[in-house]
Amino acid sequence: MASTSEDGELVDLQGYTVPLAALKVGWHLEESGCALSVHRDGTDAPTLRVRGVDGRKPDLSSETLAAIRRWKRHLIALVECRAPKPVWE
């Protein structure tokens, strides 16, 4: 189910509500061959890592980099999100 906020349309995932724009950034990165991961060292805020094909640094546009910065908090939450068990298990 979707709703809206000042950031636009929201998508309700099980246990988490995320702006559709943040999902679109994640999907764009995935379609571009990028892999997202989160690094936590226990002292600082989590770091979002974006890797390209074969672990190389991806060639991202300034618009994509700005979108990553804007939605970083949500992208981290999405990367760390665990899918619920299917009801048939």
Question: Rounded to whole angstroms, how far apart are CA atoms 21 and 68?
Answer: 10
Output the pTM of the full model. 0.80
d(CA 46, CA 29): 19
List the beta bridge partners of residue 88.
Answer: none
pLDDT digit string, tens, across residues 36-80: 999 988 777 899 999 998 888 899 999 999 999 999 999 999 998
